[in-house]
Amino acid sequence: MTNRFNVGDYGAVANSNAIQTEAFQHCINACRDAGGGEVIVPTGAYIIGSIQLFSNISLILQKSVHLIASLDLKDYSDFGLKSTIAYYDDPDYVKLWHLPRHYFQALIVAHHAENIQIIGANDALIDGRNLQNPEGEEGFRGPMTIVMSQVKRLTLSGYRVKNAANWSHCLDDCQDLNISRIAIIAGHDGFNLHHSQAIRISECKFATGDDCLAGYDIHDLLVDHCYFNTACNVTRIGGTNLKIEHSQITGPGEYPHLSKGTFTTHALFKYYAINADARQDISDQIEFNDCEISQLNRLLDYQYQATIMQSGPELKLLRFVDSRIRDIQQTSLFKSQGVKTTLYFARTTFDVDLPILLAIDAGVTVIFDQCQFVKATQIQLADGTKYKLAGRVTKKFKNNFVSNESSQF
């Protein structure tokens, strides 16, 4: 029989102006001391600061639960967490991005744990209130919403996150993640997945002010039946065996980028590999399959070694299959600085009104396999040569040469 602990039995009062953190933590600690179980949050609004979850605990947010971030920065903690994201300890990056000492403070924190769940009713809401911290990242970002570090077997489902003061979810070095039916509204990033593996994200809705999915050294990620909208990048990722399928991706952002005040969706895919973190391998087998993609600034932004965000190991293969792409505003850049990289499109339809769809450099191989171009556009090769793409196209572009061969990946 599952142990059940109700935060109301430990002094939590719904719909009060008082901070409820202490009562929440007493209830969680009692559950931990009993060997685990369910921590029940009954209907109502609760103002909290940081709470810590432990192994074998399920946090259950019942109907119409509203967790509200305290506006007092003193109410937040990282509980001694030591993240595996290496750049936050690098002096150059700390200075560049104005990273605070306790960067991973959050409303809900767990680290070095296993078998954790956060389950919400469909109308359960976690509100970060866009809390600002003058000492925080970029001189204004506040605490994160949920930080799970080095957690095995993690389930997140059903709730909504609104106005995250920094990342909605930092899930670093986690393993076996099942994420479903979550909505992320405004705020900053959706899910940051650095060093995590064996991840399933399904039926989620992203309407974010920053990247929807971010992180490097991600392994074995499957995203399916999701809706993506952002005022930054849909994905800023690197890793191996990453697949996004059966999803709708559209811009411009419904909510603004908080530091820039803009709504433009920058790119569907922006590569992420950073030299300040040695724990990374070459990225490979990244795929978008059966996706509807529209109204973005660029489709792709891969400029290897041109920026610090793309300064780590290179990308080997990016693939698009059975997708539909329309209303792209600017030329996509796919440049590898001579490192061998393949960009592959199979049975993909392009409906774009652009003089040049894609510009590549030496080292990049681009394959269009049975692709359809509704309007004529061009690809620009490494030597500046432009090649027309119109109608049904099966072509391979490599080292300034064009052939009619089709390759399978």
* Phi then psi dihedrals of residue 27, to 5 deg: -65, -45
Question: What CA–CA distance (Å, rounded) separates 64 from 55?
Answer: 26
- Write down the pTM of the prediction: 0.96
Q: Which among 271, 372, 390 is positioned nearest to 325, based on CA atoms?
A: 372
**What pairs with residue 110 in β-bridges?**
148
Residue 397 · residue 381 · CB < 8 Å: yes
Q: State the 10-residue block means of pLDDT for the chain, 409 residues long.
A: 95 98 98 98 98 98 98 97 93 90 96 98 97 94 98 98 98 98 98 98 98 98 98 98 98 96 98 95 98 98 96 97 98 96 98 97 96 98 95 91 63
Closest CA to 214 of 156, 274, 262: 274
Alpha-carbon gap, residue 269 to 82, rounded angstroms: 29
Sign of CA dihedral 292, 293, 299, 301: negative
Residue 325, pLDDT score: 98
**CA-only gyration radius of the chain, Å:** 22
| Backbone φ, ψ for residue 172 (5° rounding) | -100, 135
User: 3-state secondary structure string, 390-402?
Assistant: EEEEEEEEECCEE
Q: Is 135 exposed, middle or buried (0-12, 13-18, 19+ CB in 10 A)?
A: middle
Identify the pLDDT of residue 409. 47
* pLDDT value, residue 172: 98
d(CA 366, CA 303): 15
d(CA 130, CA 140): 10
In single-letter form, the type of residue at position 146 comes to I
Q: Which residues on adjacent β-strands are paired with residue 172? A: 149
